[in-house]
């Protein structure tokens, strides 16, 4: 009876091919097999984001007057509200870490090769969507750090010719960051981005089930494990460990809430304002080179990164070239160096006294110098 019920449900949902693919899928064993787990961890943290985000949505109020107060209420009055918010914030960072590790491991293992080219494209889009979640969600607490970090971020597109001011205005919804910006960020964060992301996650996971896991060109496959139920049980154990660590961090280090920003009483930005860590490489790059050059440069690199499956000759049956592996290693080093440099610069800025900061401001024009 149970078997018939399951068969009817699978047939009604048109999941016959998917179920068959899951039953037939094997996970290969080789020296780099451990990297397969990070994709599953990313999926787990994304699920946690959705669940905790919905729970917070019941109490959050997306207005400049009430946003900060509603989060204070969540953290002080709602039962376990502080824990849910901490889990949501920490899991967002864990999700980005897993996505970066998963992306670079897939790149270095050449998992973008045919027939997985479309799977690589969906992964790149998901990376951009997750970064969009980070950017739109950063303003929602409406504290001073979030306000000024968003103000800086929304000014960056202005460096683009012709369309820069339009893009910046569309993001902010006004000439400057205000309550309209908060409402717009909230709508993107809980409405637009989740719908697109969930659909793409389903497509990405389905492609993995149908196409299987990629094997590095030089890897020696020593065996294989049936995905269901053997490998899935191992993956569930990894998920439980990751979930346990997340809860422990959220309990021991609750996510802080800064001082509310008051639009009626504008203040100077606090020392060391900066975005989340996964934007720090871009933050530091914008300090080193002109903004327009950084935007165009990263745009070109993103296009190249996205089209790698079609540029790598090995991916198209041609002779293997190591240049793409070198490019991946350089990209990792660049992200690490620029991120570390950015945090060192932020630490130095916070350590400076107000007098030191004034002395470092360049004088502009003769009148101001007098």
| DSSP-derived secondary structure letter, 29 | E
Averaged confidence pLDDT in the chain = 88
Question: What is the Cα–Cα distance from 206 to 42, expressed in whole angstroms?
Answer: 15
Question: Is residue 272 included in any domain, yes or no?
Answer: no
Question: What is the Cα–Cα distance from 151 to 172, expressed in whole angstroms?
Answer: 9
Question: Is residue 80 included in any domain, yes or no?
Answer: yes
Question: Is residue 358 included in any domain, yes or no?
Answer: no
Residue 221 CB burial class (10 angstroms; 0-12, 13-18, ≥19): exposed
Higher pLDDT, 295 or 2: 295
Name the pLDDT band for 369 (thresholds 50, 70, 90): very low
Place of tokens 């964060």: 189
**pLDDT, average across residues 175-184:** 93
Q: What's the CA angle centered on 328, arms 324 and 331, to 5 degrees?
A: 135
Decide: 274 and 283 in contact? Cβ < 8 Å: yes
**pLDDT, average across residues 4-14:** 72
Give the 3-state secondary structure of residue 173.
coil
Question: What is the Cα–Cα distance from 4 to 261, expressed in whole angstroms?
Answer: 59
Question: Is residue 317 included in any domain, yes or no?
Answer: no
Higher pLDDT, 322 or 140: 140
74: number of CA atoms within 13 Å, CB side?
Answer: 28
Per-residue pLDDT reduced to its tens digit, 51-106: 999 999 999 999 999 999 999 999 999 999 999 999 999 999 999 999 999 999 99
Structure tokens at 27: 């996970």
Question: Is residue 346 included in any domain, yes or no?
Answer: no
For residue 115, pLDDT beyond 70: yes
Q: What is the pTM of this model?
A: 0.89
**Which residue from 183, 138, 148, 146 is spatially nearest to 266, judged by alpha carbons?**
148
Question: Is residue 3 included in any domain, yes or no?
Answer: no
Question: Is residue 296 included in any domain, yes or no?
Answer: no
Question: Is residue 356 included in any domain, yes or no?
Answer: no
Question: What is the Cα–Cα distance from 336 to 284, expressed in whole angstroms?
Answer: 11
For residue 302, pLDDT beyond 80: yes
CATH number at residue 140: 1.20.810.10
Structure tokens at 356: 């030191």
User: What confidence score (pLDDT) does residue 361 get?
Assistant: 37
Question: What is the Cα–Cα distance from 263 to 19, expressed in whole angstroms?
Answer: 54
Domain, as residue range, for 139: 18-266
Question: What is the Cα–Cα distance from 229 to 241, expressed in whole angstroms?
Answer: 19
Structure tokens at 110: 């050449």
Decide: 275 and 147 in contact? Cβ < 8 Å: no
Q: What's the CA angle centered on 291, arms 272 and 187, to 5 degrees?
A: 70
Per-residue pLDDT reduced to its tens digit, 292-301: 899 999 999 9
User: What confidence score (pLDDT) does residue 209 get?
Assistant: 84
Peptide bond just before 291 cis, omega within 30 deg: no
Decide: 280 and 153 in contact? Cβ < 8 Å: no
Q: What's the CA angle centered on 20, arms 19 and 21, to 5 degrees?
A: 90
Into how many domains does the chain fold?
Answer: 1
């Amino acid at each position: 009876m149970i078997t018939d019920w399951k068969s009817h449900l699978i047939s009604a949902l048109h999941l016959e091919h998917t179920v068959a693919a899951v039953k037939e899928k094997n996970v290969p064993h080789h020296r780099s097999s451990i990297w397969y787990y990070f994709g599953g961890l990313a999926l787990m943290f994304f699920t946690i984001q959705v669940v905790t985000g919905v729970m917070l949505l019941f109490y959050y109020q997306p207005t400049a007057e009430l946003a900060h107060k509603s989060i204070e209420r969540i953290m002080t009055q709602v039962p376990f509200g502080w824990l849910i918010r901490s889990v949501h914030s920490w899991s967002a960072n864990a999700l980005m870490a897993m996505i970066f590790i998963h992306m670079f491991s897939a790149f270095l293992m050449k998992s973008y090769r045919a027939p997985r080219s479309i799977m690589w494209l969906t992964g790149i889009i998901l990376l951009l969507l997750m970064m969009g979640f980070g950017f739109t969600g950063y303003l929602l607490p409406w504290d001073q750090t979030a306000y000024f970090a968003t103000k800086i971020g929304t000014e960056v597109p202005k460096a683009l010719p012709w369309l820069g001011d339009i893009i910046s205005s569309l993001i902010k919804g006004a000439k400057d960051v205000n309550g309209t910006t908060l409402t717009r960020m909230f709508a993107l964060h809980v409405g637009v981005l989740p719908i697109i992301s969930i659909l793409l996650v389903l497509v990405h996971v389905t492609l993995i089930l149908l196409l299987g896991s990629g094997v590095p060109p030089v890897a020696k496959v020593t065996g294989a494990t049936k995905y269901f139920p053997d490998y899935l049980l191992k993956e569930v154990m990894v998920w439980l460990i990751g979930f346990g660590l997340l809860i422990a961090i959220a309990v021991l280090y609750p996510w802080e809430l800064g001082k509310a920003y008051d639009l009626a009483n504008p203040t100077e930005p606090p020392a060391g304002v900066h975005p989340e860590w996964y934007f720090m490489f871009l933050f530091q790059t914008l300090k080193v080179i002109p903004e327009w050059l950084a935007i165009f440069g990263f745009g070109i690199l993103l296009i190249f990164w996205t089209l790698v499956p079609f540029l790598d000759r090995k991916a198209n049956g041609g002779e293997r070239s190591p240049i793409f592996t070198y490019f991946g290693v350089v990209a990792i080093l660049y992200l690490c160096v620029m991120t570390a440099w950015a945090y060192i610069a932020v630490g130095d800025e916070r350590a400076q006294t107000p007098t030191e900061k004034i002395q470092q401001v360049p004088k502009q024009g003769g009148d101001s110098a007098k």
